[in-house]
A and B are shown apart, each in its own frame.
Chain A
Amino acid sequence: MKADKDFTKLVAQSLSESIDQRSMVHLAREIMPEYNIESYSNLPSSLDIPRLDVARQIVADMNNFNLLIPFVNVFFSIQSKGYKGRKYKISKLRSIVVKLFDMGFSIDPVTGQVYEDPQYRISKNWGVLQEGIDYPFTFVWYDIVESSIHLKKNSHRDVLAFYQKYHNLVRSSTESRNGRIWHIEGDGILTAFHFGDHSSTALFSGIEVLHSLYKYNLFENVLDNPIKIRIGLNTGVTDYIENHDMLKTKEPVKDVINLEKISLSDTIVATNTVMTSVEGVLASVFEFKDLNKKGSYFVYDVKWEN
């Protein structure tokens, strides 16, 4: 999305008051590696250009390429992480944040990153991830066990009604935790989490789906057999791609889908990469299991006393 004039003006002012010209251009190259300020402007390269003009030009260029929010994310990171060994204090930070909220964005409390507020918009890239750039994600793969049996034994209408319920359930448990549905193929659903403590939020969403289907079997299921599900989770780094058909070629996604081959019905199976950063309640409910030659995983299922 393109930002309005007030916002671009505010960011340009903040940029010019917070950081020198050379670093501004370097920041822009974090987003557009080939960025060359002269090619987009009439600013003469040989003259000493006022810092505000450079800032205005960079902000206008980023806005033209719909990259202003990712650029703001990089800009914000210089206050928390520093940039090239120096620390910066961002001027007008509060005003920018207020304006971002007005525009329908939120700030991730863990990373300080800007992303779209799901109350306003839900895009697969949270409005900010860029194609071809590597990001850490936690992926969740949902798969209904022996789904063809339900189709054989029940009316088409009943099965369809269940699938609608199932899709809505996965959607709400994912999007309420700022995850995104990335791919649906029949009974298989791939969701992705990126912001915040994404391993934990992904695990919680999986638990909610498992419990909800457990309750569905008890109270609502009109199909001939109970619904059984396998839920797998994997955390890994991969580049963001718009073409979601290509997703299955990415290692972390292949790994999460392959978990269905080793998972038992009605269990959540998480890889080591998911559990490394998880503590507290979640760490206590997942059991470490050595699945023979298939590797070691963390497993959760619903069990009751006799």
Chain B
Amino acid sequence: MNIYLFTNSKKISSLFSSISKDYELLTLKRDMYADTINSVSPGDLIYYDIQGLTSDQLFQNISDFLENVAINFGIIDPTSEIASISDLFFDGFCDYISKKELMHPISPARIKKVRNYKNFCITNQVVKNSATPINIKKPVQGWKSIKEGDEYTFYILYFRLEEVALLQNHFGYEFTESIINTVRDYLRSFFGSYEGKLWITDDNKALFLFPYKENNQRIILGIYQFLLNKILFSGEILKSPVIVNPTFILHLGNIMYLNEEMSGKSVSDALNFIFHAANSYVTAGNFYVSDSVFNIIPTPIASFFKRAPSFEGHDFMVMRNQIIGDKG
């Protein structure tokens, strides 16, 4: 999580310096706000010093803040301009720093309380720019209630193991095959524990389906965990001489469910979209989430995601990659 502090006051900047040990703190002049806001990621925290604003400017600024629902805002009010502090919180602000509180430095403990209070949710409103609103068809009892030939809403996870040709050239066809098979079997079992089913397999590519469930953050959490541990996975489980490089895309959409043998015959916009994205949009070796699933990015890892270019009417976010070895 990054913390952005917009203030023109040196004193207020210095009061925040104690949190820079534990958090990424960016202190900027207030007039930098408009240029900066588009690069702020969901889950980040912005503190805005309102000292000296006219009431019109204040009203306008607060309205602007409320439009960025995925970002968390706190107000710094050194001259007690805000008439109703409670209204700020009702409107979704997550902190208010009063004149009295500015007598002391802002502590990491305060930021922690803010995080706990707001729980830093990326709200459903972020999904509003999704091109086609989804008519949710929830399988009530998960896989148990799914019947062939009926349409349901699924989280669709596309997976591709990258640099296969390179692996084949360096380590041979057989070894690469065994790596692909082990990765697939591992992911089948790994996502199986998250109710994911391996639905389509094609050499180094795979598609998993997870029946729709509200706020199912576990899928993204699972992929994050897998990527964090890809060194251990590559070295210990695969016994690979190199770190494997996977691409993931997660999207939510409706699919007519057919069994695994017939899965290639299922036609849906969501499937077309994810295959288009896989072939024409993604940069290999990244984890992308479409706007349809922004709302299930778990709060503690929201800052690991940054905005990516949109594609075929959908916004995307991409997870920051771990920098490994001398690439750092």
Chain A residues engaging chain B, CB cutoff 8 angstroms:
153, 200, 204, 207-208, 211, 214-215, 218-219, 224-226, 279-282, 284-287, 302-306
User: How far, in Å, is A50 (CB) from chain B's closest CB?
Assistant: 48
Known: A280-B235, A281-B235, A281-B242. Is A287-B228 also a contact (CB below 8 A)? no
Beyond the given pairs A215-B225, A224-B108, A305-B323, 17 more chain A to chain B contacts, judged by CB atoms under 8 angstroms and listed by A's residue number, are A153-B109, A204-B236, A211-B228, A211-B229, A218-B300, A218-B301, A225-B108, A279-B241, A281-B240, A282-B231, A284-B242, A285-B231, A285-B324, A286-B325, A287-B326, A304-B304, A304-B323
B15 within 8 A of A: no
Residue in contact with A207 in the complex, picked from B112, B231, B321, B326, CB distance below 8 Å: B231
Q: Say which residue of A207, A219, A225, A302 sits within 8 Å of B300 (CB atoms).
A: A219
Q: Using an 8 Å CB-CB cutoff, how does the interface string of B217-231 with A read, 1 for contact, 0 for none?
A: 000000001001101
**Quick check: B22 and A280 within 8 Å, CB to CB?**
no
Q: Which among B225, B241, B322, B328 is the interface contact of A281 at CB below 8 angstroms?
A: B241
Q: Per a CB cutoff under 8 Å, which of A218, A224, A286, A305 touches B321?
A: A305
Q: Is the CB of A285 within 8 A of B243?
A: yes
What residues make up the interface of B, taking CB atoms closer than 8 Å to A? 22, 108-109, 112, 225, 228-229, 231-232, 234-236, 240-243, 300-301, 304, 320-326, 328
Distance in Å: Cβ of A294 to nearest Cβ of chain B: 20
Contact B22 A226 (CB under 8 A): yes
Q: How many A-B residue pairs have CB under 8 A?
A: 65
Cβ contacts under 8 Å, B240 to chain A: 280-281
Q: From B225, B232, B243, B328, give the contact of A303 (CB < 8 A).
A: B328
Asked whether, in the complex, the Cβ of B228 is within 8 Å of the Cβ of A224, the reply is no
CB-defined A-B contacts under 8 Å, sample of 22: A200-B235, A204-B232, A207-B232, A208-B232, A215-B225, A218-B301, A224-B108, A224-B112, A280-B241, A280-B242, A281-B235, A281-B242, A281-B243, A282-B235, A284-B243, A284-B325, A285-B243, A285-B325, A303-B323, A304-B323, A305-B320, A306-B320
Q: How far is the CB of B301 from chain A (nearest CB, A)?
A: 6
Considering the complex of A and B, which 9 residue pairs feature the smallest CB-CB distances, nearest first? A281-B235, A280-B241, A218-B300, A303-B323, A305-B320, A304-B320, A284-B325, A281-B234, A285-B325
Contacts of B242 in A (CB 8 A): 280-281, 284
Residues of A within 8 A of B236 (CB): 204
- Could you say which residues of chain B place their CB within 8 Å of the CB of A287? 325-326, 328
Asked if A204 meets B112 with Cβ closer than 8 Å, knowing A281-B240, A303-B328, A304-B323, the reply is: no
Residues of chain A with a CB closer than 8 A to B304's CB: 304
Closest to B109 in A: A224
Residues B243 and A304 in contact, CB atoms below 8 Å apart: no
Most buried by B among A219, A224, A226, A285: A285
Which of B22, B112, B241, B325 has the largest count of A CB atoms less than 10 A from its CB? B325
Q: Which of B22, B235, B320 has the most CB of A within 10 A?
A: B235
Question: How far is B228's CA from A200's CA once the two chains are assembled, in angstroms?
Answer: 19
Q: Which residue in chain B gives the minimum CB-CB distance to A177?
A: B236
What is the minimal beta-carbon distance from B6 to any residue of chain A, in angstroms?
20
Inter-chain contact B322/A304, CB cutoff 8 Å: yes
Chain B, Cβ-Cβ closest to A220: B300
Least distance between B66 CB and chain A CB atoms (Å): 28
Complex Cα–Cα for A243 and B189 (A): 44
Q: Give Cα A285–Cα B232 distance, bound, in whole angstroms.
A: 11
Q: In the complex, A224→B112 CA distance in Å?
A: 7
A281 touches B112 (CB 8 A): no
**Given the complex of chains A and B, what is the CA–CA distance between A89 and B213 in angstroms?**
62
Complex CA gap A90/B155 in Å reads 58
Cβ contacts under 8 Å, A208 to chain B: 229, 232
Check if B234 sits within 8 Å of A304, measured CB to CB.
Answer: no
Question: In the complex, A304→B323 CA distance in Å?
Answer: 5
Nearest CB on B from A127, distance (A): 24
Q: How many Å lie between the Cα of A306 and that of B323 in the bound state?
A: 10
Determine the chain B residues whose CB is within 8 A of the CB of A200 once the complex forms.
235
